[in-house]
Structure 1
């Protein structure tokens, strides 16, 4: 029936195209008419489009993550997805950020344009009109999974992804879901302001949703370091989920667009590549998901963009089926100097750039002091991790040293060994949301597990080495 409808619509398009060619009427172009027909065809094949946008970080130096999410909102909103079907999760501490000063804090700057967020140098304000569905302490992995799975009772009746379009063949949802996440990551986890999301928890939720028919197709874009580890060897290719990630399982993603006035980076490379591609399309129906993926993979030459899950979705479906079917005036951006840096080096690089741009000796001295504090704090963390590893290797009579383990890039297979280490390192040693740089050390614990070190031995060393007089914060 759907195939017959598609053929009929295509035939009508061809017939009316001929009529338009013979007519002098300028009230409607064939291009816009064809796009209208395509939208009607797509509506025949699926129900509603739902969008979930998540910025997992907080603090001003992570400006770009919330700017990414706000920009994504502007795209899907402009292409016709109503706010009632867009869920936005972000801490919302950037647009009206106020100056702070504390030990190891980088918050000695504030947003010079309150209420305005940019995702491109001299670009538009992407903050305007963005819904504040979940902010502050409500931005958690638990809330994210409940929103994604449509568990409204768990979030006290607040907005979630609902099953609005039912497929009468099997009773499941006929809707499409688009999820975009931007934040820090590490092997097997994505960051949130105070907690983190584990890869196995995410994939179990996706598989459960598929089994329960909570969507027809789901597309997931992830901006984070080591983001490929969230799906590699975990996301099946026989459920209707397609995911792309900014990096592979073991390497960094990159930030870009340093802004001198704001003293931070405005965007992330993978993210701005897909969003600026969508921006320049009048109709997103002209591009398949695969075409956007390949374009982004080619233009993101700083990290290794990957794809996972059911790749047929990318070949057969258009971007419009997940980001909106309404046509919109194309938006392009003037070329700027491309200045990408690894995501975790943004704090250091921003301080160095701010030091170079300082207008007074007093300002330069303050920035230099903050930079030295940050580097010393990173060095302290490195020594703690090294002591944990060396304790384990020494007690087990292993012929390795910390430096041998540190630089390996093994992929996770020993999940039951690794996950308890992540929990302990976060809870006892360095809380990731308050010490983003701690996530860079998780690869070391992957490596220990993969060479056969028992998790009990590593946990014991953590308990012995992470006995601090006060909570450690500000190591970014």
Structure 2
């Protein structure tokens, strides 16, 4: 009897995600955390929570692809081994999450292959699962990580706006979706989509093109931030929403209203926001019990994403009672501050060498530039990370990449001149 019941439940799941009518859209989802390290706990927590939202609304694992480094649940810093939470006193969101691509397999190249359904290109890598969507299918992508001007981060590389745009245009031309919804959590995330529009593609971003996104919910026990403001707002809304009636527009308005730290934006084909959540995040009915928590009065304790490592150290300092331990933390704070000052100093020196007068101040100011010189920008960003300050260890450095975007747009400045300056100042 128990076996029969489990079989019936399985059939219900399958029927909800793969319609009997082949002309009805099928749900496909790609969930990505683009960072690693304990202090970036929140990104994998976000993605694990997003999986639970989709899974609990009937999308089968065969149609959900998850990419995350997977170094958090069993991290030596984790005082709740094997468990990840996304809000204070939250339930475990790690249980059951597919480990399709982990560790060094989480790369921009693999992301683009998975997204475009390149099964042969992913053969022998991770689970090999890709988004096998067709012209009648709806695709949902959620990405959580660090970002900068016209780029989003992965553990050891960056994905540029121009490469993402090309992939999405290819999918559109090849009829790889009926409709496509992309939720993006990253600093300056608006810069990834503010320069193009693809039919039937709808996007919301955590921030405008020239501002940070924000981390939230610092946990004293775990010593890290559990989530990001934009991300927890959309998922906490989805946890309690009626997917049959709530529209993307209603969710967007709720997220924007409750995210007072950055400007949540939307781009692309805005007619799609009249569609219901159930058309992208799963069917209208919940198949499992979902822990719905009212966190309206819970302080976010939000901090800009680039400031998270420093904020964590300050939390540690306030909690430390042993004088020796306090001195060690103070030393780390000083070292991190000096490193951040050095990053700015290298870029300031580079700009000052290559330009004169008012142009220096103009390039050093955050002015929301649109990158056009992609060869220069890609090369300079990667060289700055490889030669000067690895982004994997210095997230703050990403927040300064607008300077290189501005510098590369100056016709009198060549890529070689920028790289030579880095060679001089980053010994």
Fold shared per TM-score above 0.5: yes
Cα deviation, 1:295-315, whole Å, max 9, x if unaligned, reads: 111111110111111111112
* 2:87 is aligned with 1:120: yes
Deviations 1:169-197 (A, max 9, x none): xxx52111100000000001100000010
CA distance in 2, matches of 1:460, 1:219: 38
Call closer, same or farther: CA 1:353–1:43 in 2, change over 3 Å. Answer: farther
Query: Are residue 356 (structure 1) and residue 323 (structure 2) matched?
Result: no
1:402 and 1:65 map into 2 onto residues whose CA distance is 35
Match of 2:150 in 1: 188
Which structure 1 segments of 5+ residues have no match?
1-37, 99-109, 164-171, 469-476
Would the alpha carbon gap of residues 47 and 465 (structure 1) be closer, same or farther in structure 2, given more than 3 Å must change? same
Secondary structure of the 2:35 match is coil
Length-normalised TM-score, structure 2:
0.89
CA RMSD of aligned residues (A): 2.2
* Correspondence for 2:6: none
Cα deviation per residue 1:248-275 (whole Å; 9 max; x = unaligned)? 1111000110111111111100000100
Q: Which moved more, 1:400-409 or 1:225-234?
A: 400-409
Say whether residues 1:410 and 2:371 are aligned partners: no
Q: Decide which structure has the larger Cα Rg and report it.
A: 1
Do 2:384 and 2:422's aligned partners in 1 also have CA atoms closer than 8 Å? no
What is the alpha-carbon distance in structure 2 between the residues aligned to residue 41 and residue 312 of structure 1?
24
- TM-aligned CA distance change 1:459 to 1:46, over 3 Å: farther
With 179-188 and 426-435 compared, the bigger mean Cα shift is at 426-435
Q: CA deviation at 1:451?
A: 4.9
Name the SS of the counterpart of 1:286 in structure 2: coil
Partner of 2:35: 57
Quickly say closer, same or farther: Cα 1:159–1:39, change in 2 above 3 A.
closer
3-state SS in 1 of match to 2:400: helix
> Does 1:138 find its partner at 2:105?
yes
In the TM superposition, what are the counterparts of 1:197-216 in structure 2 within 5 Å?
197-216=159-178
Does residue 173 of the first structure (1) align with residue 135 of the second (2)?
yes
Separation in structure 2 between the aligned mates of residue 440 and residue 62 of structure 1, nearest angstrom: 15
CA contact (8 A) 1:75 1:279 kept: yes
Aligned counterparts of 2:130 and 2:175: Cα–Cα separation in 1: 16
State which of 285, 298, 305 in structure 2 corresponds to 1:327. 285
Q: Deviations over 1:262-296 (max 9, x none)?
A: 11111100000100000112x31221111111111
Q: Say whether 1:449 aligns with 2:408.
A: yes
State how far apart, in whole Å, the 1-side matches of 2:18 and 2:144 are. 32
User: Which moved further from structure 2: 137-146 or 400-409?
Assistant: 400-409
Give the direction of change, closer, same or farther, for the CA distance of 1:82–1:381 in structure 2 (3 Å limit).
Answer: same
Give the match's secondary structure for 2:358: coil
Q: Which region of structure 1 is more displaced relative to structure 2, 267-276 or 459-468?
A: 459-468
Unaligned runs of 5+ in 2: 1-15
Kept after mapping to 1: 8 A contact 2:373/2:409: no
Aligned to 2:327: 365
Match of 1:161 among 124, 131, 142: 131
1:296-307 to structure 2, matched below 5 A, reads: 296-307=255-266
Asked if 1:339 is matched to 2:270, the reply is no
1:386, distance to aligned residue in structure 2 (A): 1.6
Q: Distance in 2 between matches of 1:39 and 1:141?
A: 28
Q: Is the 8 A contact 2:17 2:58 kept in 1?
A: no
User: 2:423 and 2:365 mapped to 1: Cα distance?
Assistant: 24
Instruction: Pick closer, same or farther for the CA change 1:132–1:389 going to 2, 3 Å.
Output: same
Q: Name the count of aligned residue pairs.
A: 404
User: Among 203, 219, 231, which residue is 1:259 paired with?
Assistant: 219
Aligned position for 2:344: 382
Counterpart for residue 435 of structure 1:
394
Of 53, 58, 72, 1:94 maps to 72
Q: Name the residue aligned to 1:34.
A: none
Q: Contact (CA 8 Å) 2:354, 2:413: kept in 1 or not?
A: no
| Distance across 1 between alignment mates of 2:420 and 2:258 | 43
